[in-house]
Amino acid sequence: MKVRKDLNELINELKNNDAYKENIVHWQTIEAKEAKTADIPLNIHPALMEALQKRGITSLYTHQKIAYETVATGKSIVAVTPTASGKTLCYNLPVLQTISQDPNARALYMFPTKALAQDQKSEINELIEESGLPINSYTYDGDTSSNIRQKVRQAGHIVITNPDMLHSAILPHHTKWVSLFENLKYVIIDELHIYRGVFGSHVANVIRRLRRICHFYGSDPIFICTSATIANPLELAETLIEKELVLINNNGAPSGRKHFVFYNPPIVNKPLNIRRSATLEARKLAYEFLKNKVQTIIFARSRVRVEILLTYLQEIIKHKLGPKAIRGYRGGYLPTERRDIEKGLRSGDIYGVVSTNALELGVDIGQLQVCIMTGYPGTIASSWQQAGRAGRRHSESLVIMVASSSPLDQYVIQNPAYFFSRSPETARINPDNLIILIDHMKCAAYELPFRIGEQFGSFETEEVLEYLAEERVLHQNGEKYYWMNDSFPAHNISLRSASQENVVIIDQSDIANIRVIGEMDRFSAMTLLHEEAIYLHQGTQYQVELLDWEEKKAFVREVAVDYFTDANLAVQLKVLEEDRRYTTALGEIGYGDVSVTAMATIFKKIKFETHENIGSGPISLPEEELHTSAAWISINKPFSEGKQDRLEHGLIGAAHALRHIAPLFVMCDPEDIHVIPQVKAAHNEMPSIFFYDRYPGGVGLSDKLYEGMMHVLSEAKEMVANCRCERGCPSCIGMDSNIDTAKKDVLQLLAHFNKGEIHVN
């Protein structure tokens, strides 16, 4: 019997084996880093000092020390802390020290998920226990039983919660939390970088409400934030909290040697420049590690990809490791299922996990040795977060990024310098998005009346208050606006998704045991839970038998088929109002409000392995309408006169390239910004390409694009020009076009949009 290979042998094999080495386009070795440390401050409470020593902590990393000292001067901070850099001490130390000196002091910890909150509670409680200090820390979330809730409210020194709970359970009932709000010294915001886009814009408003209530009770807490590496942690924190903060980014934690491999699957169709599927290639690589029992995490870009990979891997590994040795992990699984998987990974019972970016967050799953990314995760920041899952402080680790054929992946993998030298993306939020803002102003008015002239964070409220009074939601009396409605506003507002109701997924395979297996937001459900869709959950296939759109329920039944489904969404867009515009030599660039209607039209059945199309069917769901902001580019001169179809294909190709480049510049999920071409836009009758925010009202993404449009256009042009295909391929302009001139047309169009120059054909 063959002896199991260890990671080093596998690394060598990867380097030397012909089956792999040809596909490796870049091999970056990141050397191990020594720790930079400083002494534990002398004024730390002796019991706390002892507890630290019991845990083997005799000195602090430099960033921990500076965090402690800065907070001690009363300043709020944001600490940039990569995976495994001991970020928790950045906040636990000041908090525990303060409470040890003032038993009335309170701290509120906010984690983006319940899982992280649970993790942190165990960690801080171990420290408290070892110190023997009389400090109570509790989690307060949907799982907290009602009999201890009162105790948490009154006696919890440290309350650990999530933004959703803060929004819907704590702030609207603030009178039950008087002792917390009167004595609130610290607010901890962990995983700050998660609070971007729509979610971040919501959370910024929750923080406005929090600070408003603190002010009412006479407290003004210090904020301690920690963030993964992004380009603008300080800016993000200051926009989120609307307070001056100090940036701490001198990470002193050590790290082990890390190999970062860029892997481009071989071309299987030269003329079309089509590469072997990243999923299949990732499967092959993962198999090598898993069969040698090297703990591996595989990231996939979507829920469907997770399930497909999981199905593949479970099938081939089953006999070697047993079916439970590899698990899936993504949103939509029930919490108990997830806790179980996390535990299995820590204990080593589970060798492999296939995950969406859900495991990017700091959920404690211990140290894995290998990380495989199926496709570029979409942002540099995410890539580093995912890479951080492999190897923690002292061990060698391997990260393999397997590129897909998408233009963005190809751009990144062929420009390693771009990836390794460029600063990670900028995180944006728009707390003043009117849809989001108004929801939270309603909640805020419910919590405390608004005074005339009162600001909501930095927002001038006058017009919104007048509007809400006209809508009979608020009532003005004298100097104040009062809540005047019999509803509980926070209940109708979800921080996580644009659509406010989720579709519940109900498994009716066993009539005697009908059960809920997950849920999904409404917009995703249009394309993933339509009738006849194949829905994958933990590697099991379900077919949707009935989608009750009114009641938001999808009834599914377990099936075994050899295909998955993929749905099309038809989109229409019209400009409602142009807010800003500037003209270029041959066209114009605009920004304003648009109305978008989307309708799921048909779905295709796609065979596993071969990925061929084996059938299709209609989807009959109502149209969804979206009002949002958009940026657009138009040209005013006819392009390649008389050749309408060339213009059309050119626009489609250019939009394809831009769709993949645009998210790079605004640090958003590719799904957050949509790009659509129009041969003749209704508002200016010019050939145009639109970029619109996926969230109603926009969260500032298209605004940012409007400002940086020239840059985006030239990057897109460069990407298309550098692509090795001849006439256009899925990796640049996205089509196997029959039109020979397609690629040339796209380049011309992009140049045309950009500089207003046209090359004679």
Partner 1 sequence: MSIKKKLNRLKSHMSHEGGVDHTDRNRSHVVMDDIPYRDVWEKAGVTPYYFEGNYCLIREVVYPIQQMHGNYSFSQFIDAVEAWNHHGGVNHPLSAAGFQAENFFFFDTETTGLGGGVGNSIFILGHASLSNNSIHLKQHILPQPGAEVPLYKSFLESADYTTMATYNGKSFDWPQVKTQHTLIRNHLPKLPEFGHFDLYHASRRMWKHKLERLKLAIVEKEVLGIARKDDLPGFLAPMIYFDFVENKDPQGMLSILKHNEIDILSLITLYTHLSFQILGLDKKQSAHEKYEVGRWFSQIGEASEAKQAFMHVSKGNGVEAMKAKHALAFENKKQRNWQAAIDLWKEVVNEGEGMLIIEACIELAKIYEHREKNFTDAIAFTKKAEKSLQQIIQEDQIKISISLDDLTKRSDRLSRKIQKQKRDEKCL
CA distance linking residue 172 with residue 213, whole number of Å: 10
Q: Is 725 helix (H, G, I), strand (E, B) or coil?
A: coil
Using the rule CB under 8 A, give the single segment among 397-405, 486-494, 503-511, 668-676 that binds partner 1. Answer: 486-494
Least separation in angstroms between residue 470's CB and partner 1 is 8
**Nearer to partner 1 among residue 9 and residue 471 (C-beta):** 471
CA distance linking residue 732 with residue 723, whole number of Å: 7
Residue from 332, 697, 700, 728 touching partner 1 (CB under 8 A): that is 697
Contact status: 439 vs partner 1 (CB under 8 A) = yes
**Nearer to partner 1 among residue 286 and residue 436 (C-beta):** 436
**Which residue, chain included where needed, has tokens 């000196």?**
101
CA distance linking residue 276 with residue 263, whole number of Å: 12
Residue from 27, 287, 467, 608 touching partner 1 (CB under 8 A): that is 467
E-strand ranges in 254-338 read 258-263, 267-269, 274-275, 296-299, 326-329
Using the rule CB under 8 A, give the single segment among 36-44, 271-279, 313-321, 462-470 that binds partner 1. Answer: 462-470
The site that binds partner 1 (CB under 8 A) totals a number of residues, namely 49
Residue from 453, 488, 585, 612 touching partner 1 (CB under 8 A): that is 488
- Is the distance from CB of 188 to CB of 222 less than 8 angstroms? no
- Is the distance from CB of 280 to CB of 296 less than 8 angstroms? no
Using the rule CB under 8 A, give the single segment among 35-43, 333-341, 390-398, 443-451 that binds partner 1. Answer: 443-451
Which CA distances in Å does 405 have to 481, 497, 603, 739? 55, 29, 22, 20
Q: Please state at what angle helix 62-72 crosses helix 88-101, rounded to 10 degrees.
A: 40
CA distance linking residue 629 with residue 208, whole number of Å: 24
Least separation in angstroms between residue 178's CB and partner 1 is 6
> Using CB under 8 A as the criterion, what x/- string covers residues 582-601 for binding partner 1?
-----------x--------
- Is the distance from CB of 542 to CB of 535 less than 8 angstroms? yes
E-strand ranges in 549-650 read 553-559, 563-584, 587-607, 613-618, 624-635
Nearest in space to 225 (alpha carbons), one of 62, 133, 108, 345: 108
Using the rule CB under 8 A, give the single segment among 3-11, 363-371, 476-484, 541-549 that binds partner 1. Answer: 476-484
> Using CB under 8 A as the criterion, what x/- string covers residues 389-428 for binding partner 1?
----------------------------------------
**Nearer to partner 1 among residue 392 and residue 442 (C-beta):** 442
Contact status: 150 vs partner 1 (CB under 8 A) = no
Largest CA distance in the chain: 86
Residue from 178, 514, 516, 721 touching partner 1 (CB under 8 A): that is 178
Question: Alpha helices of 55-87 — where are they, by DSSP H?
Answer: 62-72
Least separation in angstroms between residue 367's CB and partner 1 is 44
Which CA distances in Å does 355 have to 282, 529, 656? 13, 20, 27
Structure tokens at 265: 């699957």
Contact status: 30 vs partner 1 (CB under 8 A) = no
> Using CB under 8 A as the criterion, what x/- string covers residues 554-583 for binding partner 1?
----------------------xx-x----
Least separation in angstroms between residue 332's CB and partner 1 is 24
- Is the distance from CB of 76 to CB of 245 less than 8 angstroms? yes
Contact status: 700 vs partner 1 (CB under 8 A) = no
Contact status: 175 vs partner 1 (CB under 8 A) = yes
Give the chain's end-to-end CA distance (angstroms, integer).
Answer: 66
Using the rule CB under 8 A, give the single segment among 94-102, 148-156, 347-355, 461-469 that binds partner 1. Answer: 461-469
Site for partner 1, rule CB under 8 A: 172-176, 178, 434-435, 438-439, 442, 445-449, 463-464, 466-467, 470-473, 475-478, 480, 482-490, 492-493, 500, 576-577, 579, 593, 625, 627, 696-697
